[in-house]
Structure 1
Amino acid sequence: MKDAGSVPTPQPVRQVALLRGINVGRNKRVSMALLRRLLADLGYADVVTYLQSGNAVFTSASGPASAAQAIEQALAGGLGVESKVVVRSHAELVAAVDGDPLKEVATDPSRHLVGFLSAAPDAEHRETLVDLVGPQPDPDQCRIIGNHLYLWCPDGVLRSSFAKVDWNKRLGVTTTMRNWNTVTKLVDLSREYVEAASRYPA
């Protein structure tokens, strides 16, 4: 008989790890094979990576914040790579996609970006975005919903008013960007395992 006062055992869930700033130029080089091995060594299951920019899908009973910290420490200790990591559960990632405030105007997924934030920025940092983008909606747009930043750059990211922005400094939290193509692919990769293995709650 289960003890009424016992703490429920955390259930494994599908999660997505987003590494910041790796494999850009010659710095912070991490092969995806090494990343998969590193996550497996942490005890994470069914590890899949996508592209070379540091995107990994895995299953773990650890919460996203704990997983992010563990991956950061493993990267530094095992590979000598200092990289901030943001982790979202499958459900959180799906909610970020479903809650996109720019979906009516963002017609090119390569120019539509999502910034994954380690925490929701405070009011003071949010106010700085007003000076950055100026009058909206023409042409570049940005919105913050909780711990996600959404950008639409109709003339291209490099030509946008966001091209040289240090988002970590601007928002006061760790920020790592992915375009819409990458985000939706990660949702698909995560969903495949959620649907195939009902023991992993979404």
Structure 2
Amino acid sequence: MTSCAALLRGINLGSRRRVAMADLRTWLAELGHAEVRTLLQSGNAVFRTERELDEVRAELSAHLTERAGFPVACVLRTAAELAEVVAADPLGAVATNPSRYFVVFLDRPVTSPDLEPDAFAPELFHLGEREVYFWVPEGVRDSKVLAAFPARADEVATMRNWNTVTKLLAMAQAVPDLRTR
């Protein structure tokens, strides 16, 4: 079994699109996943699965959409993949506040935007393989780099701050990957 994290897009952001984490845990268990845990009311879950992640992602989105009553897109990462994201930490030398250091997780490889990184100083971004890291020292509300970053209609992207990313990693690593035993 593989330990992984589900990062749900656009739930529990205000009064609409609410999902109780107890319901989320139940719905994941209904799909046969084991050791399901959630992080606060954040739309993040960690669990173990025996199936391939592409299959899990499609099944999970369909099941959650049916149960929640609105579309729920998700991005999945294994514990090992989350560890790589945290180990990379490309902006860690300048990102002094983890609540303003963000990772956007994508469901496919990053495409290079036509943006000049220096145009947004002191804000920064760094392209990973399937992640984009952002340092927005003044916060997301007035961020120029986040506003300028192109979104593709055919991809799923969801953003988490560094605190959440590291907590998810700790949770995912606490659920052992049984394939390595």
Normalising by the residue count of structure 1, what TM-score does the alignment of the two structures yield? 0.82
Change (3 A) 1:129 1:68: farther
Contact 1:112–1:180 (8 Å) recurs in 2: yes
State which of 113, 117, 122 in structure 2 corresponds to 1:127: 113
State which of 122, 144, 150 in structure 2 corresponds to 1:139: 122
Map of 1:180 onto structure 2: 162
After TM superposition, list the pairs within 5 Å mapping 1:1-202 onto structure 2.
12-122=1-111, 126-130=112-116, 133-135=117-119, 138-164=121-147, 168-169=151-152, 173-194=155-176, 199-201=178-180
Contact 1:114–1:178 (8 Å) recurs in 2: yes
Secondary structure in 2 aligned to 1:16? Answer: strand
Ranges in structure 1 where 5+ consecutive residues have no aligned partner: 1-11
Q: Which deviates further from its counterpart, 89-98 or 172-181?
A: 172-181
Tell me by how many angstroms 1:68 deviates.
1.3
Instruction: Report the Cα distance in structure 2 between the residues aligned to 1:97 and 1:103, rounded to whole angstroms.
Output: 10
Tell me by how many angstroms 1:190 deviates.
1.1
Secondary structure in 1 aligned to 2:115? Answer: helix
Ranges in structure 2 where 5+ consecutive residues have no aligned partner: none
Contact 1:168–1:174 (8 Å) recurs in 2: no
Instruction: Report the Cα distance in structure 1 between the residues aligned to 2:8 and 2:131, rounded to whole angstroms.
Output: 15
Instruction: Report the Cα distance in structure 1 between the residues aligned to 2:167 and 2:2, rounded to whole angstroms.
Output: 18
Instruction: Report the Cα distance in structure 2 between the residues aligned to 1:33 and 1:105, rounded to whole angstroms.
Output: 37
- Residue deviations 1:148-179 (CA, integer Å, cap 9, x gap): 01000112222321454575338x62110000
Which of the two has higher C-alpha Rg?
Answer: 1
Q: CA RMSD in A?
A: 2.0
Given residue 141 of structure 2, which amino acid in structure 1 is its aligned partner? L
Change (3 A) 1:134 1:169: farther
Map of 1:4 onto structure 2: none
Instruction: Report the Cα distance in structure 2 between the residues aligned to 1:182 and 1:116, rounded to whole angstroms.
Output: 12
Normalising by the residue count of structure 2, what TM-score does the alignment of the two structures yield? 0.91
Tell me by how many angstroms 1:24 deviates.
1.5
